[in-house]
Every structure is written in C-alpha cells, then in structure tokens.
Structure 1
Amino acid sequence: MTDDLRHPRFARAYPRVDASRAKVGGAANRDELLAGASGRVLELGAGHGPNFAHYPASVTEVVAIEPEPTLRALAVSAAASAPVPVKVRAGVAERLDLDDASFDVAVVSLVLCSVRDPVRALAELRRVLRPGGELRYYEHVRATTRRKAAFQRYADVIWPYVAAGCHVSRPTGELIASSGFTVRRERRFDFPPSRLPNPAKPHLIGLAVRD
C-alpha cells in the first residue's frame, strides 16, 4: 500500500461538484460539523481542503491527510488561506504515520465511504485520539429503508468505479458505534436537496468520543 491513491479525473471534477453543493447547504453542514472543535485536529481524507475555512479559532493545528496527489496539491493551496494552521500530508487511512493519543479531535468528511477498509481506518483514528477525544463525522451512509438500501446496493456495482472507490451502501454510523466510540449526537438527513434519485443522498453528521 502506497501513500498515493491516484484518481485524476475524479480529483479534477470533485471541487466543482463540492462548490455547487456548498451553495445549497454543504457549507452550513461543514460549519455544523466543526462548531466547537478545539485543540489539535487530525483531518482524514481532506480532499481539496473544503473544511479548512470552517475551523474555529479554538483549533490550534490541523494535520490534514490526503492520499490523492491532485487533491492534495489543491489542499496545500487552501491551507495557505485557512484561519488556523494547517499542515497537509500524504497518507492512507489504514496506516497513519502518527503517534498514539496525539490528537484532541479527528475529522472525517465524506471519506469513510471510499477508504479500502473502514474498520481498520476507524481503529487508526481511535489509536491517534487521546482518551475522550472527539470523532466528528459528516458522511453519506446506507439508507434506513429497505427500498432505498436496495437501490444503493445496486448502485454500488458501478458507483465505486466512477467515484474514486466511493461506496454508497456502507453502514458508516453503525461502524463508528462499534469501533470503540460512544456517539454523543447524530443527525440524519438527505442531501443535496433534490427530487432526483441519488443513492448518495442519506447523510449523517455526528460527534462520538473515544472510549
């Protein structure tokens, strides 16, 4: 496993998609995700850096891990204008080159859908968080109704190949709750707002603490 996972077409297209979604609620979702965060933060799968502008002044440092080179270069540019210090590094979720219990907060934002092994990634996040540290998550997840979940399973036959390994049917909320974290709050909602069928609509924003 290398620290680079290359998806150049996706990496060029995704910032434009994210910018359009920011205007219809995505930016507010990121504000909700990061409100009240403080201390030293690890952001896993930082992408092109869309969270950076939303970190509050109570954050002393963000270490941002991004394995895709095109997105990582964009994140470096975004870090230069962030309101808090941000260091962007290469790395993969399942093998973090970081010390145990060295962060106060870990942030995952639309990333656990695409990591190769989400259980191992969550174990790594738990390892690098101090006891009682926060895991803040904003993820699209498996639907709660049988019909929508079946639609997602069918979509996952093709979706990962066109969306850089993203899986729309992962039960990410359940994985977090069973990986050594206690969920303190969680909000489930559909996003983006649209009547068109979209297997990636069901989302969660939540906060869990390391047991």
Structure 2
Amino acid sequence: MNPWERYVVPNLIACACGTKPIMKQREKVVPKAEGRVLELGCGSGTNFAMYDASKVEHLYALEPSPGMLVKARREAGALGFGNHIEFLETGAEAIPLEDNSVDTAVITFVLCTIPDWRAALAETRRVLKPEGRILFSEHGLAPDESVAKWQRRIEPVWKPLAGGCHLTRDVAALFTESGFRLEEAETMYLPSTPKVAGFVSWGAARAA
C-alpha cells in the first residue's frame, strides 16, 4: 500500500462520506438494523452513532483498510460502546462468519469500492439468515445518458484518487444479479452534489 492509499485516501473518503446529503441517506437505513448486524466497509465508523442500541444485539464491523480501522476504533470508543463492536479486518469477499449467522447486513456507500462485488454479495448472502435482509444506500450509474456519459469518462481518473470508487456500477443490477430482490427501493440525485457522483439508491434487499 503506497503512502497515498494509506494516509491520504482514508481522510478523503471519511470527509466525502460524511457530507450532509450522504449522512441523510445513511439515516434512512442504518437505524432499521436489528439483531446480529454485519456492516460491510465500516470505514471510519460514520454509521456507528446511527444504530439503535435497543435493536442491535451485536455489530460486526468489517473493514480492510488499517487507516480506516484506526478511525473506526476511535469513533467506537468516543461513543462508549467499543466493547460491543467486533471489528473484522478483512475484505468483504471472504467474510469470517458462519453461514446463516447474521440478521441484517448494512451496506452504505461501499459497493462502489469493493474490487469483487460479486464475491462480496455472495458472501453476504451466505452469512445472512434465510429471513435476513440487506439495508443499503449506494451511489452509482445514473439513468440519464448525459450524466452516465460523463461518469464513464471520469471514472478512470476518479478511481485511483478515490480509493477505487467506481461511478458506473448499476446498484439495482448488482443486487438482482446476486440473487436478491429489492424492497422499498428508491432513487434520487443528491442535492448539492455533482450529478456524476450523486445518483443514489436506497432501500432493502432479501434473498430471492
């Protein structure tokens, strides 16, 4: 890992993922998590304060970046529930949990950066209980060709600067191709955000 990826990218992503429009998106889904919860790509712990402690039995916070984990552990400690979070320092392509062991998976603004999203969603499906669900909020490919055109043009430059973030992943297609059905799915362009990075989808998904 080069110095840019280790020291600069975590701070850039933490800042970008904590903007007001994105925080409002997180607030739409994270408080609904319940039972044994797995968060893919917890980053700097941005979602931690949004969990409803009365609903969450245990939180597995998965994150492959050492730099992000430093921030996440600090955030958990500041909130006073560091001992109630189990950190998994690994990628989502190989989740170190048993089959059918998770009630809720939380995926917020991380599918864009996971190198092998197919493996990650297959693993998420494996660890979810049959009645479990994914709560998600993600940005991705815009439906308007004029915006999508610029997303495709910018992405090759954007990715290395933004920690591998893809602008052109079709969020709905990722879930359906991985054997999930969408529930309560909604979309919009985020306010005060460039359209190339601001088309978001959110809702819930269950195994089909």
Asked if TM exceeds 0.5, the reply is: yes
| 3-state DSSP of counterpart to 1:138 | strand
Residue in structure 1 matched with residue 70 of structure 2 by the alignment: 73
Task: State the number of aligned residues.
Answer: 202
Find 1:51's aligned residue among 47, 52, 56.
47
Work out whether residues 75 and 88 of structure 1, in 8 Å CA contact, stay in contact via their aligned partners in 2.
no
Among 32, 40, 51, which residue is 1:36 paired with?
A: 32
Residue 209 of structure 1 is matched in structure 2 by 206
Deviation at 1:198, TM superposition (A): 4.1
Once the 2 structures are TM-superposed, how far is the Cα of residue 82 of structure 1 from its aligned partner? 5.7
Tell me the alpha carbon deviations over residues 121-150 of structure 1, each in whole angstroms, 9 at most, x when there is no partner.
110100010112111111101001111111
- TM (norm. structure 1) is 0.89
Distance between the aligned counterparts of 2:184 and 2:24, measured in 1? 17
Q: Which runs of 5+ in 2 are unaligned?
A: none
CA deviation after TM superposition for structure 1 residue 72, in Å: 0.6
How far the C-alpha of 1:106 sits from its partner, in A, is 0.5
C-alpha separation in 2, matches of 1:151 and 1:74: 33
* Conserved? CA contact 2:147–2:195, under 8 Å: no
Q: Equivalences for 1:6-25 in 2 at 5 Å?
A: 6-19=5-18, 21=19, 24-25=20-21
Higher helix proportion: 2
Q: CA deviation at 1:30?
A: 1.5
Paired residue type of 2:59: V
Instruction: Tell me the CA shift for residue 83 of structure 1.
Output: 6.0
Instruction: Give 1:26's match in structure 2, choosing from 22, 30, 33.
Output: 22
Deviations 1:25-76 (A, max 9, x none): 3333222112332100000100000000000120111100111111111111
**Alpha-carbon contact 2:33-2:106 (below 8 Å) kept:** no
- Matching residue of 2:161: 162
1:104–1:129 contact (8 Å) kept in structure 2: yes
In structure 2, distance between residues paired with 1:83 and 1:188:
33
**Which residue in 2 is equivalent to 1:100?**
99
- Report the TM-score when normalising by structure 2: 0.90
